[in-house]
Amino acid sequence: MVAERTTSQILFDNGTHRCIRFSSLVHGEGVQANQFLIIDQNRAAVIDPGGDLTYMPLTMELNKYTRLENLDYVMASHQDPDIITSMPRWLVYTSAKVVASKLWARFLPHLSSNFMSDRMKGNWLDRLIELPDAGQVIPLGQSTIIAVPGHFLHSVGNFQFYDPVAKILFSGDMGASMVEDAALPIDNFTHHIANMKGFHQRYMCSNRVVRLWVNMVRQMDIEMLVPQHGAAFIGKEQVEQFLDWIENLACGIDLMDESNFSYPVK
């Protein structure tokens, strides 16, 4: 992985296919988040672009790698504010289609306003690719991006995006960590657990669904697992370490009992 400049890291580049991560575009109170750009043969897709905080800096960064006219898709792993709140701007200022779970697609127009309906290019429904629960293969340039099920990890309708050329799984909130500098590699997985544990225990739905996901992911050829917050898992060994850890983690409803549902007295 080459640190080209402070805000972006090239995760993969074979001359015609590139994957780029932007890791420090969120300023202020917002939680650190990574945004991603995949380019194949000059056609581009953005994954989890974020909200208004990131729209301007992200488009400035994108312009260093491609032109906004080349943007075919804005892909959203789920519906959270740090994922897709900027959707109206992408619809108005680019011709990209929005790719999202069918469970969330019809909620997304609530993000918009007259701003969007008056100015966007084309009909809203023509600009929407609603992913079925089973996922979908999405063409990009001469390549594809695979929307892989990640339901309940953490959102009820959740997808991760797999790039079969780069062998990178863009895993959304799965694998997320709170670290000082998300661009730095993880040198010690055991120490890194402290940066992930509390988040996964609360946000991921249950160990049962984690195991279903891990079983699917183990059948995939993954060189890098790159979450939407924090550091990336680089190389098969580190990906395996993460899978081994998460498949044994009790989380979400596994940890809930009566004490979490006591009527508040003050």
Which residues contact Fe ion (rule: CB under 5 A)? Answer: 80, 82, 173, 228
CB of 171 to Fe ion, least distance (A): 11
Name every residue whose Cβ is closer than 8 Å to that of residue 96 and which is 6 or more positions away in sequence: 46, 71, 72, 73, 74, 90, 127
Measured CA distances, 167 to 19, 43, 155 (Å)? 10, 18, 24
* Nearest residue (CB) to Fe ion, 40 versus 82: 82
Neighbours of 71 (CB within 10 A): 22
* Nearest residue (CB) to Fe ion, 26 versus 217: 26
CB of 24 to Fe ion, least distance (A): 15
* Nearest residue (CB) to Fe ion, 39 versus 99: 99
* Cis-peptide into 154, omega within 30 deg: yes
The residue of the chain with the least Cβ separation from Fe ion equals 80
CB of 212 to Fe ion, least distance (A): 19
* Nearest residue (CB) to Fe ion, 84 versus 217: 84
* Nearest residue (CB) to Fe ion, 120 versus 169: 169
CB of 16 to Fe ion, least distance (A): 30
User: What is the spatial distance between Cα 141 and Cα 161, in angstroms, rounded to a whole number?
Assistant: 16
* Nearest residue (CB) to Fe ion, 18 versus 192: 192
Distance linking the first and last C-alpha atoms of the chain: 51
CB of 67 to Fe ion, least distance (A): 28
* Nearest residue (CB) to Fe ion, 163 versus 173: 173
CB of 228 to Fe ion, least distance (A): 5
CB of 246 to Fe ion, least distance (A): 16
Is residue 145 a contact partner of residue 45, using CB atoms and an 8 Å limit? yes
Tokens representing 258? 């009566």
Tokens representing 188? 């010690």
* Nearest residue (CB) to Fe ion, 51 versus 135: 51
User: What is the spatial distance between Cα 72 and Cα 44, in angstroms, rounded to a whole number?
Assistant: 6
CB of 227 to Fe ion, least distance (A): 8
Element (H, E) at 40: strand 35-40
User: What is the spatial distance between Cα 69 and Cα 136, in angstroms, rounded to a whole number?
Assistant: 24
Element (H, E) at 4: strand 2-5
Is residue 81 a contact partner of residue 51, using CB atoms and an 8 Å limit? yes
Is residue 177 a contact partner of residue 199, using CB atoms and an 8 Å limit? yes
